[in-house]
């Protein structure tokens, strides 16, 4: 049975850095662009987050909000984040959504596999570009 083509714009998200719309779920195209963004800015790691991201990270979040206030692109260096507390993931998603809804491009760089998997599971990849840490 032949299916009619999907109308443009259906199941699309505006999280692509070049203004194009990509398939929801952060498909291969989104990952390739994220790698290109990371390769283009190797010395610019962004705002560093450290340790366990949890309710106790209020100081880091306040500094991040101040850092992001005047920028059109918010890059977070997640390389020194050991884990993201599961109970805090909803708040972290809201934080990323707030930046994206303010028309800021959000990039989470140097993610460990476990942190990237958690963020993808809760849907952060719909609002930000997730860049995994290079394996050594």
Higher pLDDT, 60 or 22: 60
Give the pLDDT of residue 134. Answer: 83
**Level-2 CATH architecture, domain 48-136:** 2-Layer Sandwich (3.30)
**For residue 121, which of 81, 91, 93, 95 has the smallest C-alpha distance?**
93
Distance CA 61, CA 81 (A): 13
Give the burial string for 62-72 (b: 16+ CB within 10 Å, else e): eebeeebeeee
pLDDT of residue 4: 56
Express each pLDDT in 54-113 by its tens digit.
999 999 999 999 999 999 999 999 999 999 999 999 999 999 999 999 999 999 999 999
Confidence (pLDDT) at 64: 96
DSSP letter assigned to residue 105: E
How much is the pLDDT for 135? 74
Looking at per-residue confidence, does 39 or 50 come out higher? 50
Whole-number average pLDDT of the chain? 79
CA 88 to chain centroid: 16
Q: Does pTM surpass 0.85?
A: no
Residue ranges of domains in the chain: 48-136
SS3 66: helix
């Amino acid at each position: 049975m032949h299916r009619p083509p999907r109308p443009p714009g259906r199941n699309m998200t505006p999280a692509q850095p070049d203004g194009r719309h990509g398939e929801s779920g952060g498909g291969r195209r989104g990952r390739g662009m994220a790698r290109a963004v990371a390769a283009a800015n190797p010395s610019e790691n962004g705002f560093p987050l450290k340790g366990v991201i949890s309710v106790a990270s209020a100081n880091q979040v306040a500094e991040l909000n101040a850092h992001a206030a005047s920028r059109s692109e918010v890059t977070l260096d997640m390389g020194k984040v050991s884990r993201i507390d599961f109970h805090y993931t909803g708040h972290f998603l809201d934080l990323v959504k707030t930046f994206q809804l303010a028309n800021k491009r959000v990039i989470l760089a140097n993610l460990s596999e476990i942190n990237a998997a958690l963020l993808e599971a809760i849907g952060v990849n719909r609002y930000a570009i997730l860049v995994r840490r290079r394996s050594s």
